[in-house]
Structure 1
Amino acid sequence: MTAFLRNLCRLVDLIVRLCGKAAAYLMPVLAFVVAFEVFSRYVLNSPTIWAFDLSLFLFGYIAALGGAYAQQQRVHINVDILYFRVSKRSRAVFNLISWSLGIFFLILVMKLCFGKFEEAMEYDYRRQSEWAPPMFHFWIMMIVAAGLFVAQLGRDMLAELYFLVTGQPLIEDTDSGSEDNRDENSSDKNEDEKAEAAK
């Protein structure tokens, strides 16, 4: 059973990591689109009708699809002043509560986006701009992004529950932003601050 849970966690980690890194490759595309629009507008005096809409879509894709990867790397905002002053078991309880709320919110997002997708397909909704690109693909992306986030949070909750029951980590997060890495970084930062204060 433990082996199955570990393989499940690794599978979720792999999918989220691939999607997150794939979304990162859209960053230079976004930069190029914005730079091209600036060049066209101020140098050629011929602004495009598509660059603004495309840059909005690209930014939305990057931000939404990167959410699950950010969770995997543990880089979302946290109240560290309290979080790192309690035991690991207490942190696990905090995580379970906050991640449960996160999953609830993301399920609502998925439901809302699915409704928007149906409307976009039925009524051919488009951006209200001169280019007027279709909107259905954006809602599909939002559903996928929220689903990935739910999968990552579910994976993390499974690992925390296993730790609470057994006292042992389910899987070593050696290639992601694990709590142990954050603990080490936090302690290093505290030591640096103490050294500076001593000077």
Structure 2
Amino acid sequence: MAEVSLKSHEQVSKHKRTRSHPFVYLVPHLAIFTIFFLIPLIFGIYIAFTKWDLVRTPVFVGWDNFKNILFSDSIFHDQLTSGLWHTILFVLISVPFCVLVPLSLAVMLNTKPKFAKFFQGLFYLPSLFSISAVVIVWSLIFNPNYGPLNTLFNWNQVWTGTQPWAWITIVVLTVWWTIGGNMIIYQAALNGIPQDYYEAADIDGASS
């Protein structure tokens, strides 16, 4: 009887240790998340309701900062409206390319051409880079003085300082960086379409 009781106790202890293992693995992530995201987020929300010059003690001002940005005739209001307009414009320009380009690649790769796996990995590779690394690399490519683009074609174009070239560079960078993840999603969707649908379309004489 004592032996059975001892085995039961060992099983309970082992079960408790097993249940505690996931929490051990989560601790590093939760610590980093708390330090670098949660605490700055809470502090940022607090600072939004204060007047602070980064030196003296913050002074609580309530909604004055938001009123100043949203409704007053100030440089902050101008910057907000300009930023919102350019964000909307960026979405209208970039989203069609971020959809059509990876969708076209997914359709082509879905036909299983030669070296399909190689090109799939090649197109997905930019998605693995951080946005800061992508910006640094592309700023060097579009550099007007020593960038490889101007040097290769013997151009003298200021890409990021003039319009519409600045918009073109931003859209190209965005499409290049996001093309891999979107392509994988579209490939998964295309692979989920039953083959019967394609056969029925061929019988009905549907075009590509």
Fold match, TM over 0.5? no
The two structures have a TM-score, normalised by structure 1, of: 0.32
From the CA coordinates, give the structure whose radius of gyration is larger. Answer: 2
The two structures have a TM-score, normalised by structure 2, of: 0.31
Task: With a CA cutoff of 8 Å and minimum separation of 6, indicate the structure with the bigger relative contact order.
Answer: 1
